Amino acid sequence: MSEPRTPAQVLREARQKDSRDKRARVLSVVDQLIADGEPVTFTGVARAANVSHWLVYADGMREHIEAARHRQGRAAAGSARAGAREPAGWKLEKQLLRDDNRRLREEVERLKGAVRRHLGQQLDQFGAADLGTRVDELTAENQRLQVERDNALTQVKQLNEQLSETQDDLVGARESLRHMIRAENR
């Protein structure tokens, strides 16, 4: 049978497991970014892996990320050379696709703006009709609450006066009791 572990050992093992898990997440994110063709950056890896910036710059992690960045740089340079050898038709096709994408993005933004304006007009129309009624309701509720507050303050004042009178009576009764006890003891 093994010896029982101390709390320090348990904590150390938990931290080591957590560190291994985080490092594995970093390596996995780097591999995923490379596979997706996304640029590998220290900040991007830290965010995607949900780890601290310190960890991505730590020994072992930094080298792996720098190697991935170096591989991406070589691949980009190779594709730039390959792009120079592309047929003229492909370059024209790429330019046409870029123009179409730009035009479609502009149209999407224009349509989003139109929808926002239309919804704003609908809200304005709805709000204007019921606004007067709602203001009247809130004013009446405010007045009712003010009356309740004033009544409560009046009641508090009356109760404070009664408490003061009762305390005065109590002080008088205690004083009278003291006199009676002294008179009895003599």
Name 127's Cβ contacts closer than 8 Å, sequence gap at least 6.
Answer: none
SS3 5: coil
Residue matched to tokens 């006066």:
161
pLDDT in tens, the chain (186 residues): 577 888 888 888 889 999 999 999 999 999 998 888 888 888 889 989 999 989 999 988 999 999 988 888 887 666 656 555 666 667 767 888 888 899 999 999 999 999 999 888 877 776 666 777 878 888 999 999 999 999 999 999 999 999 999 999 999 999 999 999 999 988
- 105 located within any domain: no
d(CA 80, CA 58): 32
pLDDT of residue 21: 93
How many CB atoms neighbour CB 96 within 10 A?
A: 10
Rounded to whole angstroms, what are the CA distances from 60 to 33, 55, 64, 107? Answer: 18, 9, 6, 47
Domain of residue 29 covers 1-85
Asked whether residue 13 is domain-assigned, the answer is yes
Task: Tell me if 2 is assigned to some domain.
Answer: yes
Assess if residue 120 is contained within a domain. Answer: no
At residue 95, the pLDDT reads 81
Q: What pLDDT does 141 receive?
A: 94
Instruction: Specify the number of domains making up the chain.
Output: 1
Cα 83 to Cα 71, 92, 95, 122, 156: the distances in Å are 18, 12, 13, 51, 87
Tell me the torsion sign for CA atoms 31, 36, 39, 44.
Answer: negative
DSSP symbol at 186: -
Residue 154 lies in a domain: no
Residue 24 lies in a domain: yes
With respect to residue 52, please indicate whether it lies within any of the assigned structural domains: yes
In this predicted model, what pLDDT tens digit does every residue of 113-141 receive, in sequence order?
999 998 888 777 766 667 778 788 889 99
Burial of 34 (0-12, 13-18, 19+ CB in 10 A): middle
On whether residue 141 sits in a domain, the answer given is no
